[in-house]
Amino acid sequence: MILSNREIHNALDSGRLIIRPEPVPRQKTSEAPSPYDTHSVDLRLAPEISIPTAGPFSWDLMQAGKFADFLARNSKQLRIAEETGYPLEPGTFVLGKTIEWIELPILKSRKHCLAARIEGKSSRARCGLLVHFTAPTVHPGFKGTLTLEIINLGPVPFVLRPDMPIAQLIVEEVKGIPYENPSQFHGQHTPEGRIHE
């Protein structure tokens, strides 16, 4: 079940959902709009983006243990200037992240926990901007900022600016408390998890 804005506030107050810094104001004032819609909360773009670089290689997830470092070494970090922004060219892919730190604690004292999904905003989508295209789910137990897979499918550059509302978080209740997947442990014969034939 998707949480309404009122239930998102309750979840923040009870510690079932943590967003830091907490989006404010909770309700629209004469001075400021509220980042909360009826059943979502807006998240903002952090000033740093990561741009994958092209090269004579392929992404290969089978480089056991080395892939994260390989990906990082073949990416360029860039801080977006507030004045100019970063014009994302058509067809270009960059990684961004949210300013907000999200936590979805699994509280064993409760019968339910929360999961979330990150979605784009329709106003940005109309310009051709995608902020995720395959990985919207924020799992129960997650702690961290949310990484955004940003691509411009529009015909002209889209200017990314730090602090801009870039995505919305939709929070859902997970019925029951999930297992910590102990089945991955049982039946393994080596510490690395390989099962001998």
Partner 1 sequence: MDARLHCQVTPGQFSDEFAINGGEFSLFAPKQFVEVGREPRNGNSVEGWLLVEVVEQDAQKALVRLPGEAFEVGYFVTVPNARLKTANKSPQKQS
Binding site for partner 1 (CB under 8 A): 18, 20-21, 48, 50, 61-69, 71-73, 75, 77, 95, 97, 101, 103, 139, 141, 143-145, 180-182, 184-185, 188, 191-193
Shortest Å, Cβ 37 to partner 1: 24
Shortest Å, Cβ 120 to partner 1: 20
Contact 131, 197 (CB under 8 A): no
Q: What are phi and psi of 50, to 5 degrees?
A: -125, 125
Q: Using the Cα atoms of residue 11, residue 138, residue 86 and residue 20 in order, give the sign of their dihedral.
A: positive
Closest CB to partner 1 among residues 6, 139:
139
Closest CB to partner 1 among residues 67, 91:
67
Q: Annotated catalytic residue: which of 103, 149, 172, 173? A: 149
Distance CA 124, CA 152 (A): 10
Shortest Å, Cβ 6 to partner 1: 25
Closest CB to partner 1 among residues 148, 170:
148
Shortest Å, Cβ 117 to partner 1: 16
Shortest Å, Cβ 4 to partner 1: 26
| H-assigned helices in 29-141 | 67-73, 122-125
Closest CB to partner 1 among residues 94, 170:
94
- DSSP string across 74-88: TEEEEEPPTTT-EEE
Q: How many CB atoms lie under 10 A from the CB of residue 61?
A: 7
* Whether residue 149 lies in the annotated active site: yes
Interacting residues of 66 by C-beta distance below 8 A, sequence separation 6+: none
Interacting residues of 68 by C-beta distance below 8 A, sequence separation 6+: none
Closest CB to partner 1 among residues 34, 75:
75
Is residue 122 helix, strand or coil? helix
Q: Catalytic residue numbers? A: 149
